[in-house]
Amino acid sequence: MPKKIEIFDSTLRDGAQAEGISFSVDDKLKIVKALDALGVSYIEAGNPGSNPKDLEFFQKIRGQKLSNAKLTAFGSTRRAGISVQEDPNVQSLLKADTPAVAIFGKSWDFHVTDILKTTLEENLNMLKDTISFFKQQGKEVIFDAEHFYDGYKANPEYAMATLRAAEEGGADWLVLCETNGGAFPDDIYEVTKKVVETFNVSVGVHCHNDSGMAVANSIMGVEAGAVQVQGTYLGFGERCGNANLSTIIANLQVKRNYNCILDDQVQNLTPIARYMAEITNISVNEREPYIGNSAFAHKGGMHIDGVSKSSSSFEHINPKKVGNKRRFLMSEVSGKSTILSKIQKINPNITKDSAETQAIIDRLKELEYAGYQFEGAESTFELIIRKQLGKYRPFFELIHYKIIGEQPADSSDSSSALVKINVDGQEELTVAEGAGPVNALDKALRKALEVFYPQIKDVCLTDYKVRVLDTKTATASKVRVLIESTDGRNIWSTVGVSTDIIEASWIALVDSVEYKLIQDIEEKVRAYM
């Protein structure tokens, strides 16, 4: 039977400390639901003593039963020189009314004497008193030994004494925190192994990514005997971030046969990542292991040929295991077989020698010469194939659009766009304001289309890139616009090229919308088959 590793997700607490990250209360509730469905063991949802938003969250979620995870409130030990009962932060933790609490305390003597400005003995009393208090209240207590690995390196006797004080207080977990993120995997292994051999309390690890080794350090902690791993699902957090749990879970459960989350949820690692990124208003790193858009993307003709014959030739796992998919990138180094594989997804009867194949290749070359690049815009290329094969019909006709700019801009909405479209003989005229002409045009188009296609409400633009193609012609240069869109489940990219940046953006926007509508139709067809 696979060994159980308890996954402790701190996206809503440690992750919220990342630059540019801010969760609303509703955001936090959605993320809790997603992580619980995935089957993580603990969800650290915030510090009720630090801000009103976290306090409101704990009030809202009180009474809601989770299926798999234990909701966990986070806070520090009592302050020096006062009792547990007098410490307002400790009391706010109790009011959060969670089944588990994570208590952090100092395990590096330097932090005790120079940062907390108290004695080493008082720090031990603070740990023991606070943990004992929460145990008396019937809580599961997770002790986060902050700066443990640096503390062990500086003064191993004292670092171990902090764990002993936590053990005496009744802690259920001793979590060793690599807070500064500078340790190497061999250091993590040796120190964690020593702790596991010394104490009869379950051990966990909490690693940061300041030297790019948080995932490796977490894995080595498990190899040394730790049975809890803390981190954030997408790896964001203070400074360079926390250990990325999506990578750790996949490594441990798919590669090493540990049990981290529900077996039937491993295939949702990628969809959950994209869902959480959407809520957080960030983009998933395209090159993120397992869940990234490029994790199973192949560009070189030799690689594509190898994967087509045997996926294991250039892939370490089947992407379907983690809910991702294989992608063959369109570029000047792709072979004819790559293009054929794209064509056969739409019409399986087309062969390498079919006239349609050559016609599509010729069209591809023609568009590339005009400045198009399909490596990052496979959705546009799929639409081109459909048009060449006669399997395309436009979902709407543009009658006209008009952009109005305003300078100097005295608000965030500095531009207006008017769009008039025709859908099956029915006309729709809409106006929208936006932060610039492209944003206004995007809003106006979606507003008009939502009348006919309500599912467009789920679509949002997640990335927008502009590349000047021929700089020698200065302001008359041709530009390539690449747009990335999502509906919260899938991500797709489209491209447009023109000497007019608005027109290039319009081309990419239209492709983005039409690709979404085509995929929805095909999904319904598959559901009925």
Q: State the pLDDT confidence band at 332, using cuts at 50, 70 and 90.
A: very low
Q: How far apart are CA 517 and CA 126, in angstroms?
A: 60
Q: How far apart are CA 258 and CA 443, in angstroms?
A: 46
Is the pLDDT at 294 greater than 70? The verdict is yes
Tens digit of each residue's pLDDT (9 = 90 or more) over 462-500: 888 888 887 666 666 789 999 999 888 888 999 999 999
Mean pLDDT of 257-277: 95
Is the pLDDT at 335 greater than 90? The verdict is no
Q: How far apart are CA 51 and CA 362, in angstroms?
A: 61
> Comparing 194 with 374, which gets the higher pLDDT?
194
Mean pLDDT of 81-87: 95
Mean pLDDT of 337-341: 76
Which run of H or E residues covers position 158? helix 156-169
pTM (two decimals): 0.76
> Comparing 218 with 491, which gets the higher pLDDT?
218
Count of C-beta atoms within a 10 Å radius of residue 411: 8
Is the pLDDT at 408 greater than 70? The verdict is no
Is the pLDDT at 93 greater than 90? The verdict is yes
Q: Are 268 and 261 in contact (CB under 8 A)?
A: no
Tokens representing 368? 């590339």
Q: How far apart are CA 256 and CA 254, in angstroms?
A: 6
Give the pLDDT of residue 515. 94
Mean pLDDT of 354-380: 84
> Comparing 301 with 43, which gets the higher pLDDT?
43
Tens digit of each residue's pLDDT (9 = 90 or more) over 32-68: 999 999 999 999 999 887 778 888 899 999 878 999 9
Least confident of 88-97, 104-113, 262-271, 411-420: 411-420
Topology classification of domain 6-261 = TIM Barrel (3.20.20)
Give the pLDDT of residue 353. 85
Is the pLDDT at 301 greater than 70? The verdict is no
397-528: CATH superfamily: Alpha-isopropylmalate synthase LeuA, regulatory domain (3.30.160.270)
Q: How far apart are CA 39 and CA 513, in angstroms?
A: 34
Q: Are 207 and 214 in contact (CB under 8 A)?
A: yes
Give the pLDDT of residue 327. 79
Q: Is the peptide bond before 185 cis (omega within 30 degrees of 0)?
A: no
Is the pLDDT at 134 greater than 50? The verdict is yes
Give the pLDDT of residue 283. 80
Mean pLDDT of 208-233: 98
Q: What integer best gives the mean pLDDT of the chain? A: 91
% of the chain exceeding 70 in pLDDT: 95
Q: How far apart are CA 305 and CA 57, in angstroms?
A: 52
Cα–Cα distances in angstroms (integers) from residue 110 to residues 2, 76, 152, 298, 448, in the given order = 40, 17, 11, 50, 62
> Comparing 46 with 414, which gets the higher pLDDT?
46
> Comparing 194 with 415, which gets the higher pLDDT?
194
Common-topology check for domains 6-261 and 397-528: no
Give the pLDDT of residue 331. 58
Query: Where exactly are the structural domains of the chain?
Result: 6-261, 297-389, 397-528
Least confident of 124-128, 154-158, 206-210, 452-456: 452-456
Cα–Cα distances in angstroms (integers) from residue 128 to residues 97, 167, 504, in the given order = 21, 8, 64
Least confident of 40-44, 161-165, 352-356, 422-426: 352-356
